[in-house]
């Protein structure tokens, strides 16, 4: 997988010296780095999926994050760590899983809560879509796909906001499936009936 790297320009809201890249494989063994990433993902998903899963459910773990880094599928937004010059502090991430020659699935999308609204989420999504264009079928052929987990027994405000955000970016719903049927091992963790909606966008 190409080791694309983007240095994001500084802005009044965004953390300075922000870099988006596939981290070096060695960081998969850096417990501080993988734990920080797992913590920010779990914190974000705990809020974004409140009322969907029972209390105590965690979206990921440091070991899983490490495996994603080793596989080269997790892009990370980070800044220099204030504690050391040799390490970086993660502020967000997005996974890019190639499904076939023309399609990739985007997932594990999260930004540290303190940086929401700064534009890091937009930059991560822009980065992922650009990667798809450069590494898949080409303009007009590359397709980015993502899933949105939505409860069907109540209206979830965070999911409504995400649906609007994805729609504004050009994503369209192409179908939906019962989450419990496709992921039976996680079904006991659900509070109520839940579906995941599949969105896709043709990139050009």
Residue 3 CB neighbour total at 10 angstroms: 10
Question: Over the stretch 147-195, which tens digit does the pLDDT of each residue have?
Answer: 999 999 999 999 999 999 999 999 999 999 999 999 999 999 999 999 9
pLDDT band at 4 (very low <50, low <70, confident <90, very high): low
Span 22-72, pLDDT tens digits: 999 999 999 999 999 999 999 999 989 999 999 999 999 999 999 999 999
**pLDDT(3) > 90:** no
185 Cβ contact partners less than 8 Å away, ≥ 6 residues apart? none
- Tell me if 131 sits within 8 A of 96, measured CB to CB: yes
Closest CA to 148 of 113, 107, 180: 107
pLDDT at residue 2, as a whole number:
45
Is the distance from CB of 4 to CB of 21 less than 8 angstroms? yes
pLDDT value for 104: 96
114 Cβ contact list (under 8 Å, min separation 6): none
- Non-local (6+) Cβ contacts of 100 within 8 A are none
For 128-159, the pLDDT digits (tens) are: 999 999 998 755 679 999 999 999 999 999 99
**pLDDT of 12 strictly over 80:** no
Domains located in the chain, CATH noted: 5-202 (3.40.630.30)
């Amino acid at each position: 997988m190409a080791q694309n790297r983007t240095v994001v320009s500084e802005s009044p809201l965004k953390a300075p010296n922000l870099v988006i890249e596939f981290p070096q494989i060695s960081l998969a063994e850096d417990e501080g780095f993988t734990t920080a990433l797992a913590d920010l993902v779990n914190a974000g998903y705990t809020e974004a999926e409140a009322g969907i899963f029972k209390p105590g459910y965690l979206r990921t773990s440091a070991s899983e994050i490490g495996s994603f880094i080793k596989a080269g599928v997790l892009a990370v937004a980070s800044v220099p760590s204030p504690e050391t010059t040799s390490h970086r502090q993660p502020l967000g991430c997005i996974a890019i899983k190639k499904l076939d020659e023309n399609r990739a699935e985007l997932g594990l999308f999260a930004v540290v809560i303190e940086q929401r609204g700064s534009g890091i989420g937009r930059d991560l999504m822009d980065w992922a879509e650009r990667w798809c264009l450069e590494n898949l079928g080409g303009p007009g052929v590359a397709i980015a796909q993502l899933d949105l987990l939505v409860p069907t027994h109540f209206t979830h405000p965070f999911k409504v906001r995400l649906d609007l955000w994805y729609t504004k970016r050009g994503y369209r719903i192409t179908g939906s499936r019962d989450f419990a049927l496709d992921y039976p091992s996680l079904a006991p963790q659900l509070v109520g009936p839940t579906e995941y909606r599949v969105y896709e966008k043709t990139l050009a």
